[in-house]
Amino acid sequence: MATDVETRIDTKLNVGAKIPFKWVIPFIVIGAILPFFLGGYATFQGTLIMIYAIAILGLNLLTGFNGQFSLGHSAFYAIGAYTAAILVYHLDWPVYAAIPIGGVVCFVAGFLFGLPALRLEGLYLALATFALGVSIPQILKSSHLEGLTGGVQGLDVFRPKVPAFLVENFGLTMDQWWYLIAFVVMLLMFWIAWNLINSRTGRAMMAIRDNPIAARSMGVNASLYKSLTFGVSAFYTGIAGAIAAIVIEFVAPDSFTFQLSILLFIGMVVGGTGSIWGAVFGGFFILTVPNFAEEISTGLSYAIFGIILILVIYVMPSGFAGLVNLLRVRIKNML
């Protein structure tokens, strides 16, 4: 039975092998102390990488673990961002509370979008989500919603000061403070995804990806899980969008074009479809590589980005996570 997402079988890979927690700790420690060694701009970039990683993980839950395509995740990113911005700008909500609300609104939007999308598979779902992705910037600009969204101008979001005791005791800057918030949120989201994937629900999600007919005959309610996964995926992307709105202190329709959907998609594939932590590399890739290509040649930046992309896919056909897994197995076999 063919699935819509490429099924890459790795003969050397044991899928039951879990990463021991002691291996994760050093990465958490390094991630936490990094902003104290980086400059302000690099810290800000690190924050954006983590925001992208959360969004990519959301897309990956949908595509990598459930086998549904989306070219419209920029829409959920936008909905998350605008929800947060509207709550803060119009209703004076505290920015911290606006983040989870952005996620919840997206969960509802994703679940509702997932219901009609149940009838669409593979390429057709890609087209339907594409339609969602391209329509959102225009809807946000629409004169009917201008009072709420600020139209083409967008909305400003002002961040509150860093809590005083952190400034006094640690000299924490605004960039460092929001880096740490994004870091904690990212870890939390990764932990939730990890538990989800290793639960009965997660197994049902993956069974639908591998063989929807067989999954149904095991008693899995495929329709419900596909819609729910759409909701959860949108929730992740919405959280990312909400944090982005606050960190960048501004939302405008043109930040959420269809191109963002494609970038998230690239990040997912490059990081490793079906990998949780690969999303961090995916975020790193989509933030840094386009800038790097721009530095080489402004006029040909897309061509250079394209070449880099092809090379990366050639070298790491299962994404960064797949490469690391392969190296791990090689080293293990050598020892």
Partner 1 sequence: MSQLLDVKGLEASYGPTKVLHGLDFSLEQGGVTTILGANGAGKTTTLRAISGMVTRKGAIQLEGAELTTLQTADITRKGIAHVPEGRGTFVRMSAEDNLRLGAYSRSDKAGIAEDVERVYGYFPILKQRRNQQAGTLSGGEAQMLAVGRALMLRPRLLLLDEPSFGLAPLIVQELFEILKRINVEEGVSMLLVEQNASLALELADHAYLLETGNIVISGTSESILENETVRRSYLGY
Residues forming the site for partner 1 (CB under 8 A): 1, 7-11, 13-17, 200, 203-204, 206-207, 209-211, 213-221, 274
Cβ closer to partner 1: 223 or 301? 223
Q: For residue 46, what is the enclosing H or E element? A: helix 40-63
Cβ closer to partner 1: 209 or 226? 209
Cβ closer to partner 1: 9 or 315? 9
250 phi, psi to nearest 5 deg: -170, 140
Angle at 113 between CA 4 and CA 203, to 5 degrees: 50
CB of 241 to partner 1, least distance (A): 29
CB of 29 to partner 1, least distance (A): 30
Query: If you compute the radius of gyration of the chain from its CA atoms, what whole number of angstroms results?
Result: 20
Cβ closer to partner 1: 146 or 210? 210
Cβ closer to partner 1: 33 or 218? 218
Nearest to 92 by CA among 141, 50, 155: 155
Distance (Å, whole) CA 275 – CA 254: 30
CB of 275 to partner 1, least distance (A): 12
Angle at 225 between CA 238 and CA 232, to 5 degrees: 10
Distance (Å, whole) CA 128 – CA 232: 18
CB of 56 to partner 1, least distance (A): 19
CB of 15 to partner 1, least distance (A): 4
73 CB-side CA count, 13 A: 35
CA 196 to chain centre: 16
Cβ closer to partner 1: 15 or 335? 15
Q: Which letter, b or e, does each residue of 113-129 get, where b requires 16 or more Cβ atoms within 10 Å of its Cβ?
A: bbeebeeebeeebbebb
CB of 200 to partner 1, least distance (A): 7
Amino acid, single-letter form, for residue 116:
P
Quote the crossing angle between the two packed helices 73-89 and 122-141, to the nearest 10°: 30
Cβ closer to partner 1: 75 or 206? 206
CB of 223 to partner 1, least distance (A): 10
